[in-house]
Chain A
């Protein structure tokens, strides 16, 4: 690798060619396939009531996942960084668990627990008249599960870094813990939290496997946008599949750019 210019060029081109063939060209091709025949199929896709319904369901699941994970994530991060309690190390390791579990296994676990025949939660809930599986609550649970660690992973390092000086100062000046939380802690983790929320948002919109298992894939009822892409593709309605895929790809590319901007913003603010 050293200093020789030739080896530098070889490595550069290996990197560029690999990434171009694996990612850039294929992703570009999806946009090309979508807009290749003009805008008409795209407009037709996004006025289709079934497509609109699936997008709405994705929005609902994403909303709940982001809300629940933000509340849980901020609380858990503060507890893990600022307090000591027995079992903390174990909890710290366990909150990362959803990242290493297959989406299909996530789906399976929810199906087993909420099954109306023999599920630990499913049986009492069905006696109370609440249906979880194959409907929106199961999709929300699956989406929330897979995105759970993302906010914690972003907020914890920031909390470590900012330290406790400001919080202690606020306390010693008479602020109660609620005031300290809103006026000191939240502003200091603002960028890390935003970054985590953006990641959580992208993951929730894109979830496929876990949602597929728990949703039952009932057309027009429990189909999210990603499930719609699969179904349209297998129904040989490729134009629509490509149109929705382009929308989802666009959202994820915007996510990456936003996260990149936030990151550089945090870095600029950092060295005071």
Chain B
């Protein structure tokens, strides 16, 4: 009876990383007849909805062989779109690392009237439909801007849209870790003679580094795959403000499925690589700390 229910482990890991003793003596599977059936149906549904379609994208990209795949990517317009997307996503991620950490620090350690409002506003980009985000940015930074800043149809617009949709990632990753971090540790460092800067670089930042890295990975992956918020504001000008998502869409609308799949595959791989790389980095830092 007790064997059919796995012991629970707290923490972010969904599976226990370390099971004390005698893994062999326990069965590899604890599925009963009905839970096995449920698993079968769930996996079937997941495959039909997600896995098979994504596999077909990669398959379509590689079906014509490596030659056509490569020639799609080296097409001047496509290559420019990939470079722009990766460059802007990296830039926005750097900005988010700095500003996101500052915002998280302010939300945890500072007290001022209106802080709760700031908390709510931080989450708006998560919940706002991306097309609405584009319209929203166009209001303040478009041709009818009340403050006279018009970045519509420029590369700055791409940056702005990326910055808007990725704002919450680093903040929300760092905030809980900072809440756990006892201010007394910082005070102890200070009372032992560390300067404010030393406390920051030796005590606070190392503790936050894994969370910052996790937030940065999510923010980069999101920026690379962004589409909706750019439609209205970036103008989608070839070689200038066109990002990869728009490029893929152009290929789809032109009936060029293989080309669309090739660019999509590159984006899929880049997003996954960044997430895996930062996950490894995060673990390494966590182990050292």
B118:A226 contact, CB within 8 angstroms: no
In this complex, how many residues of chain B approach chain A with their Cβ under 8 Å: the count is: 103
Q: Does B130 count as interface, using CB distance less than 8 angstroms? A: yes
20 A-B pairs in the complex with CB atoms less than 8 angstroms apart: A4-B196, A16-B118, A19-B121, A22-B164, A30-B132, A84-B27, A94-B51, A100-B221, A100-B225, A109-B57, A145-B49, A145-B50, A160-B8, A160-B11, A168-B1, A205-B129, A226-B132, A229-B132, A248-B132, A252-B132
B135:A164 contact, CB within 8 angstroms: no
Q: How large is the interface on A (under 10, 10 to 19, 20 to 34, 35 or more residues)?
A: 35 or more
Contacts of A94 in B (CB 8 A): 46, 50-51
A253:B6 contact, CB within 8 angstroms: no
A171:B6 contact, CB within 8 angstroms: no
CA distance A91 to B102 in the complex (A): 36
Q: Total A-B residue pairs with C-beta atoms closer than 8 Å? A: 293
Classify the interface of chain B: helix, strand, loop or mixed. Answer: helix
CA distance A95 to B50 in the complex (A): 9
A1:B227 contact, CB within 8 angstroms: no
What is the distance, in angstroms, from A138's C-beta to the closest C-beta of chain B? 11
Indicate which residue in B34, B135, B190 contacts A2 across the interface (CB closer than 8 Å): B190
Indicate which residue in B30, B126, B129 contacts A208 across the interface (CB closer than 8 Å): B129
- A82 touching B252 in the complex, CB below 8 Å, given contacts A112-B53, A248-B129, A252-B124: no
Per the 8 Å Cβ criterion, residues 72-109 of A in contact with B are 72, 75-76, 79-86, 88-89, 91-92, 94-95, 97-98, 100-109
What is the distance, in angstroms, from A35's C-beta to the closest C-beta of chain B? 13
Q: Does B42 count as interface, using CB distance less than 8 angstroms? A: yes
Partner-binding segment picked from A38-46, A48-56, A189-197, A254-262: A254-262
Q: Does A33 count as interface, using CB distance less than 8 angstroms? A: yes
Classify the interface of chain A: helix, strand, loop or mixed. Answer: helix
Q: Which A residues contact B (CB, under 8 angstroms)?
A: 1-4, 7-8, 11-12, 14-16, 18-19, 21-27, 29-30, 33, 72, 75-76, 79-86, 88-89, 91-92, 94-95, 97-98, 100-113, 115, 120-121, 141, 144-145, 148, 156-157, 159-164, 167-168, 171-172, 177, 202, 205-209, 212-213, 226-227, 229-230, 233, 241-242, 245, 248-249, 252-253, 255-257, 259-260
A12:B267 contact, CB within 8 angstroms: no
What is the distance, in angstroms, from A272's C-beta to the closest C-beta of chain B? 16
Per the 8 Å Cβ criterion, residues 1-23 of B in contact with A are 1-2, 4-12, 14-15
What is the distance, in angstroms, from B219's C-beta to the closest C-beta of chain A? 12
CA distance A98 to B99 in the complex (A): 27
* Closest A residue to B221 using CB positions: A100
Q: Which 5 A-B pairs have the closest CB atoms?
A: A206-B129, A102-B225, A2-B196, A109-B53, A252-B127
* Closest A residue to B137 using CB positions: A26
Q: Which B residues contact A (CB, under 8 angstroms)?
A: 1-2, 4-12, 14-15, 26-32, 34-35, 38-39, 41-43, 45-46, 48-54, 56-57, 60, 99, 102-103, 105-107, 109-110, 112, 118-132, 135-137, 139-141, 146, 160, 163-164, 167, 186, 190, 195-196, 199-200, 204, 221, 224-228, 231-232, 244-245, 248-249, 252, 257, 260-261, 264, 267-268, 271-272, 275
Contacts of A91 in B (CB 8 A): 43
Known: A23-B125, A111-B257, A252-B128. 7 other contacts (CB 8 A): A2-B186, A11-B106, A75-B42, A108-B264, A148-B46, A148-B49, A256-B123
Contacts of B12 in A (CB 8 A): 157
What is the distance, in angstroms, from B10's C-beta to the closest C-beta of chain A? 6
B167:A22 contact, CB within 8 angstroms: yes
CA distance A260 to B123 in the complex (A): 10
What is the distance, in angstroms, from B90's C-beta to the closest C-beta of chain A? 16
Contacts of A172 in B (CB 8 A): 1
CA distance A248 to B11 in the complex (A): 35
What is the distance, in angstroms, from A260's C-beta to the closest C-beta of chain B? 7
Indicate which residue in A2, A102, A241, A253 contacts B127 across the interface (CB closer than 8 Å): A253
* Closest B residue to A109 using CB positions: B53
Indicate which residue in A72, A113, A141 contacts B56 across the interface (CB closer than 8 Å): A113
A23:B131 contact, CB within 8 angstroms: no
A33:B225 contact, CB within 8 angstroms: no
B106:A15 contact, CB within 8 angstroms: yes
B110:A206 contact, CB within 8 angstroms: no
Indicate which residue in B32, B109, B124, B141 contacts A23 across the interface (CB closer than 8 Å): B124
- A241 touching B272 in the complex, CB below 8 Å, given contacts A16-B118, A86-B29, A113-B53: no
* Closest A residue to B98 using CB positions: A14
CA distance A222 to B261 in the complex (A): 24
CA distance A14 to B249 in the complex (A): 37
B228:A105 contact, CB within 8 angstroms: no
What is the distance, in angstroms, from A171's C-beta to the closest C-beta of chain B? 6
CA distance A208 to B249 in the complex (A): 13
CA distance A174 to B56 in the complex (A): 48
A207:B129 contact, CB within 8 angstroms: yes
